[in-house]
């Protein structure tokens, strides 16, 4: 005789598998890391860049590619809980946030091309990757003056903050 399988009604949504990713996001500290990445940007406290990026990660995990497909899960409580939001941003809000970020990314790649890559002749792809990585880590992120840091380099700005903390 075969055993009888019984399923209980758990009131689960089709996106219940996100629980696994919730634990992974917590373990990685993903929300905090994303907030740290975008803390210098003046954004809405409700739908900041960190929430938008996390929403896009979840969007792809759910198998969606088109931004307008947010409507398929906008009322799902698990997605909202995972993002820490009571309601999801509209497609217009997401698009507006991404366009602001897109401008900054284009500016970065323009700077990279103009100041580093344009004058180099790389023998291999690996050589190019290493040179670009060195440029980003050694100059772009540490020595270059950033407008959002009152035109100071990140290193100088960090030193200024440390001095202010010690003085307080």
Task: Please report the pLDDT score of residue 36 as a whole number.
Answer: 81
Task: Please report the pLDDT score of residue 122 as a whole number.
Answer: 84
Task: Please report the pLDDT score of residue 8 as a whole number.
Answer: 67
More confidently predicted of 85 and 143: 85
8 A C-beta contact, residue 84 and residue 22: no
Q: What is residue 123's three-state secondary structure?
A: coil
Mean pLDDT of 141-151: 71
CA-nearest of 62, 39, 52, 45 to 90 is 52
What are the domain boundaries of the chain? 14-112, 116-168
Helices (H), the chain: 18-28, 30-38, 49-61, 77-83, 91-115, 125-134, 154-167
User: How many residues comprise the chain?
Assistant: 168
Mean pLDDT of 69-92: 88
Task: Please report the pLDDT score of residue 17 as a whole number.
Answer: 76
Least confident of 37-41, 102-106, 154-158: 102-106
Mean pLDDT of 108-123: 77
């Amino acid at each position: 005789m075969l055993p009888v399988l019984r399923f209980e009604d758990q009131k689960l949504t089709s996106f219940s598998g996100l629980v696994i990713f919730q634990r992974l996001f917590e373990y990685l500290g993903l929300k905090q890391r994303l907030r740290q990445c975008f803390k210098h940007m003046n954004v809405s406290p409700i739908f900041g860049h960190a929430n938008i990026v996390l929403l896009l990660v979840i969007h792809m995990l759910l198998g969606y590619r088109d931004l307008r497909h947010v409507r398929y899960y906008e009322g799902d409580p698990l997605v909202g809980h995972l993002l820490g939001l009571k309601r999801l941003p509209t497609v217009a809000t997401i698009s507006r946030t991404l366009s602001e970020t897109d401008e900054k990314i284009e500016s970065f790649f323009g700077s990279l091309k103009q100041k580093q890559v344009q004058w180099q002749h790389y023998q291999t792809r690996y050589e190019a990757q290493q040179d670009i990585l060195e440029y980003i880590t050694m100059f772009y992120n540490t020595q270059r003056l950033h407008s959002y840091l009152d035109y100071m380099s990140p290193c100088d700005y960090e030193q200024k903050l440390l001095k202010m903390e010690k003085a307080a």
